[in-house]
């Protein structure tokens, strides 16, 4: 479709598409880390057949919890190397979206009803392999039907952040101890509502009820599958003979530039630290150390996404005032500060809640800034490869390492069911500070006046 023949942008439908896309992910991710151990899946003890053949630390990577948690980052890596490109060039985008979300949604609902490893792992892998490519497909649909993407994409993409936030709030009514509510014999809607909101599940009951996160995510996925059929037609992009079949290999050549290599390594470190937050925060908030009721854990974590919206609004101003390196350093320091508060002030629940706002700084001032930096410094023909190179760290390898290591770290710091959260959280805190030092000393990008030399 040519630019001149474009119909007016269906902004409301594109916004709703993004909202549902990220609602799905936001519904199941925050609580799965505490749910898997409750099913008895191995996390610290590798399968016996591996433990006898390979070193323990390698065998641990193949523990049942690690394999399940790593389905998403593995799918992200596969997506970069193959599935995104394959889907984009062989299927109409809206039809691929519909089929992927219908099958992936059914797989997600199935996760609520299986409690043995191989069926659970298979359904999770199926969902992730189908879901991850839709993240880029939704972007493709949005860009294809915008008359002015630079102005219109930001508000549409904000639907994704709002979707993640909204995914948290149904669980204030789902993860509730209804026996306690019924026993309270409330009078009036206000009294009843207050009792419901204050009667969150805890302990084993909370872990058991977490299966509802998969049902909600699966229902949203099937809803998006149906809604996708109403989206404007976006035909497959046919290869023109100039497409790089090994774009990831071309992207790797960019690492010959020292400032790209430094930023790439720092991005890996920050992605690891970022995923430590998701691995541990849900369990930490619901523990006796903090005592957040089970139905409020996800809403508390959603404060970070609310702060992300506000932080993104001031990002441009901050970049002008601080510059690239200082802005990124502030973003990484946000992780260090949040984990420091976790480590030293768990007894002050209000501080743990308030410090969630740092998520906006962590994401916008580092990850979003990296994306903007790549778009600014690389010539047009190298930008897609460079973005993919950094996405490999952010969505793939960084999450893969965190999901493989974090369960073991938590087990190492837990004795008789009691976790030493102070020692645990100081680990990512110090790792983040090391990334700050690395970035401050060795990240030296070329001047803005010579960006076309990069990547050639």
pLDDT reading at 256 higher than 50: yes
Residue 448 located in a structural domain = no
Residue 35 located in a structural domain = yes
Identify whether residues 111 and 254 lie together within a single domain. no
pLDDT band at residue 453 under the 50/70/90 scheme:
very low
> Which range (46-50, 108-112, 117-121) has the least confidence?
46-50
pLDDT reading at 211 higher than 90: yes
pLDDT reading at 345 higher than 50: yes
Identify whether residues 152 and 281 lie together within a single domain. no
The count of structural domains within the chain is 2
Identify whether residues 222 and 96 lie together within a single domain. yes
Q: HSE of 369 in the Cβ direction (CA atoms, 13 Å)?
A: 31
pLDDT reading at 110 higher than 50: yes
- The enclosing H or E element of 230 equals none
Integer-rounded Cα Rg, in Å, for the chain is 22
Residues near 438 by Cβ (< 8 Å), separated by ≥ 6? 262, 265, 266, 269
Question: Could you give the CA distance from residue 18 to residue 157 in angstroms, rounded to a whole number?
Answer: 6
Identify whether residues 301 and 359 lie together within a single domain. yes
Domain end point (choices 218, 236, 254): 236
Asked whether 361 and 307 are in contact (CB, 8 A), the reply is yes
Asked whether 134 and 220 are in contact (CB, 8 A), the reply is no
pLDDT reading at 3 higher than 70: no
pLDDT reading at 149 higher than 70: no
Asked whether 157 and 305 are in contact (CB, 8 A), the reply is no
pLDDT reading at 329 higher than 80: yes
Average pLDDT over residues 343-372: 92
pLDDT band at residue 251 under the 50/70/90 scheme:
low
3-class DSSP state of 4: coil
Identify whether residues 329 and 419 lie together within a single domain. yes
Give the rounded distance of the alpha carbon of 430 from its chain centre. 22
Identify whether residues 252 and 394 lie together within a single domain. yes
Identify whether residues 329 and 433 lie together within a single domain. yes
What is the structure's pLDDT at 177?
87
pLDDT reading at 6 higher than 50: no
> Which range (93-107, 261-275, 321-335, 437-451) has the least confidence?
437-451
Residue 433 located in a structural domain = yes
Question: Could you give the CA distance from residue 427 to residue 216 in angstroms, rounded to a whole number?
Answer: 34
Residue 450 located in a structural domain = no
Give the highest mean pLDDT range of 46-60, 305-319, 371-385.
305-319
**What is the signed CA dihedral for 206, 199, 174, 358, rounded to 10 degrees?**
-80
Identify whether residues 92 and 215 lie together within a single domain. yes
pLDDT band at residue 334 under the 50/70/90 scheme:
very high
Look at residues 165, 159, 178, 161 and name the one whose alpha carbon lies nearest to residue 298: 165
Share of the chain above pLDDT 90, in %: 43
b vs e for 208-232, b when ≥16 Cβ sit within 10 Å of the residue's Cβ? ebbbbbbbbbbebbbebbebbeebb
pLDDT reading at 66 higher than 70: yes
Identify whether residues 359 and 411 lie together within a single domain. yes
Identify whether residues 43 and 94 lie together within a single domain. yes
Average pLDDT over residues 290-298: 90
Identify whether residues 221 and 259 lie together within a single domain. no
Q: HSE of 157 in the Cβ direction (CA atoms, 13 Å)?
A: 17
pTM of the model: 0.82
3-class DSSP state of 128: helix
> Domain span at residue 83?
10-175+210-236
Tokens (6 digits) for 167: 């995914």
Look at residues 249, 262, 258, 254 and name the one whose alpha carbon lies nearest to residue 455: 254
Identify whether residues 362 and 405 lie together within a single domain. yes
Residue 5 located in a structural domain = no
CATH number at residue 302: 1.20.1250.20
């Amino acid at each position: 479709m040519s630019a001149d023949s474009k119909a007016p942008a269906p902004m409301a439908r594109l916004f709703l598409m993004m909202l549902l896309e990220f609602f799905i992910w936001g519904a199941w991710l925050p609580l799965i880390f505490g749910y898997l151990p409750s099913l008895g899946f191995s996390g610290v003890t590798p399968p016996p057949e591996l433990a006898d053949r390979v070193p323990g630390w390698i065998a641990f990577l193949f523990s049942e919890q690690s394999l399940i948690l790593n389905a998403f980052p593995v799918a992200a890596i596969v997506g970069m190397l193959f599935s995104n490109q394959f889907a984009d060039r062989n299927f109409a985008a809206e039809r691929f979206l519909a089929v992927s979300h219908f099958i992936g949604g059914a797989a997600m609902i199935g996760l609520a009803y299986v409690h043995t490893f191989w069926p659970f792992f298979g359904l999770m892998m199926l969902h992730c392999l189908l879901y991850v490519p839709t993240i880029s497909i939704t972007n493709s649909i949005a860009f294809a039907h915008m008359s002015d993407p630079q102005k219109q994409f930001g508000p549409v993409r904000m639907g994704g952040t709002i979707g993640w936030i909204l995914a948290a709030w149904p669980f204030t009514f789902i993860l509730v101890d209804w026996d306690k509510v019924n026993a309270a014999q409330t009078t009036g809607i206000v009294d009843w509502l207050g009792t419901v909101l204050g009667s969150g599940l805890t302990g084993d009951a909370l872990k058991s009820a977490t299966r509802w996160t998969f049902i909600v995510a699966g229902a949203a996925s099937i809803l998006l599958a149906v809604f996708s059929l109403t989206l404007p037609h976006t035909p497959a992009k046919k290869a023109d003979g100039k497409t790089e079949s090994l774009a990831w290999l071309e992207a790797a050549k960019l690492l010959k530039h020292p400032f790209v290599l430094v930023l790439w390594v720092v991005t890996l470190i920050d992605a690891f630290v970022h995923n430590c937050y998701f691995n541990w925060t849900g369990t930490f908030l619901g523990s006796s150390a903090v005592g957040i009721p089970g139905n409020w854990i996800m809403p508390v974590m959603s404060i970070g996404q609310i702060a992300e919206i506000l932080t993104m609004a001031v990002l441009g101003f901050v970049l002008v005032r601080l510059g690239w390196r200082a802005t990124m350093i502030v973003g990484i320091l946000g992780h260090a500060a949040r984990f420091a508060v976790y480590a030293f002030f768990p007894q002050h629940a209000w501080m743990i809640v308030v410090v969630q706002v740092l998520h906006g700084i962590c994401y916008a001032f580092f990850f979003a800034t990296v994306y903007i930096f790549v778009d600014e410094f690389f010539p047009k023909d190298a930008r897609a490869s460079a973005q993919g190179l950094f996405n490999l760290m952010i969505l793939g390898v960084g999450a893969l390492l965190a999901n493989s290591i974090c369960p073991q770290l938590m087990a190492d710091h837990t004795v008789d069911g009691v976790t030493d959260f102070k020692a645990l959280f100081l680990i990512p805190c110090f790792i983040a500070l090391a990334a700050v030092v690395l970035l401050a000393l060795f990240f030296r990008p070329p001047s803005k006046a010579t960006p076309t030399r990069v990547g050639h």
